[in-house]
Chains A and B, each alone.
Chain A
Amino acid sequence: MNGTTRLRVDPTRCTGHGCCAELLAEHISLDEWGYPVIAEADIPAVLLRDAKRAVADCPALALRLSREAY
């Protein structure tokens, strides 16, 4: 299936725990208030496992991996 795999955050659920930025540092950084800044880019296959872990471990269950059209 053509498309990109993107990590999306539900900003209404996110309370800035910051676990995601530690688990997927190549793709997520934290702003000065502790909220995630997620790269607008495809998640490469090599990072997919870490991305899934970030989704599963987010205490607020605020992250989603989604397949999107380009």
Chain B
Amino acid sequence: MNGITASTALWYSSRATGIVALVMLTAVVVLGVAVNRQSRLPGLPRFGVVGLHRSVSLLSVVFLAIHVVTAVVDPYVTLRLTDAVLPFGASYEPLWIGLGAVSFDLMAAVIVTSLLRVRLGRPIWRAVHWLAYVSWPVAIAHGMGSSTDMQSGWLLALAIGCIVAVVAAVAWRIAGKANAAPRPARVAQVFTQIRRHESVRAGGR
């Protein structure tokens, strides 16, 4: 395009903030698994990993808000604010935008229940939190389908990088579950560790 119009600026802002939000949410998923696996990030205390997981997720909400608002305000495509939360009713790319709405709804549930987790109690908080693993794939599908940006060039490479990161994180998560002995076998596992003079303690992740 030749000149930068206000519309173009809004359109670029929406795409850019969308991509940034996707990268941040990728980081959130990886950090979430890191919390679960009780791993440490160099230089950070234990609650640093937890804190980073939360901070990045809240920051991604900010970028998502801008991503949605700029898309709605931009006259180039006719999107209503409700299209961001009510899926598949948009007049522009209803499928791909709809996926964005689904992802956003799931994310909102995860974040709201996390902010209220003490009051809601562990069973509800945990059950809803699992939806994060649904929200992310839907988000990247939305990202790659809604515009051609991430379908070629370095943005495609970025998208693939994010997918690889999340797949690795999920594998890491599953490995943790596999390592954790079922209850009847836990004590035996500790005796094995003692015999091998391991100082690693049992019961964690």
Contact = CB atoms under 8 A, between A and B. Distances in A.
Contacts of A39: none
A70 interface: no
Contacts of A61: 117-118, 121-122, 125
Interface residues of B, number: 18
Contacts of B51: 57
B203 interface: yes
Interface stretch (B1-9, B42-50, B81-89, B140-148): B42-50
B201 A33 contact: yes
Interface residues of A, number: 18
Interface in A21-68: 22-23, 32-35, 55-57, 59-61
Q: Which of A15, A19, A35, A55 is the most central at the interface, judged by chain B CB atoms within 10 Å of its CB?
A: A19
Contacts of B192: none
Given A34-B204, A59-B36, A61-B117, A13 B122 contact: yes
A15 B38 contact: yes
B101 interface: no
B123 to A, nearest CB: 10
A19 B50 contact: yes
B35 interface: yes
Interface of A: 13, 15-19, 22-23, 32-35, 55-57, 59-61
Shortest 3 CB-CB contacts between residues of A and residues of B: A33-B201, A19-B47, A61-B122
16 contacts: A16-B38, A16-B204, A17-B35, A22-B45, A22-B46, A22-B47, A23-B47, A33-B201, A33-B202, A34-B201, A34-B204, A55-B118, A57-B50, A59-B50, A61-B117, A61-B118
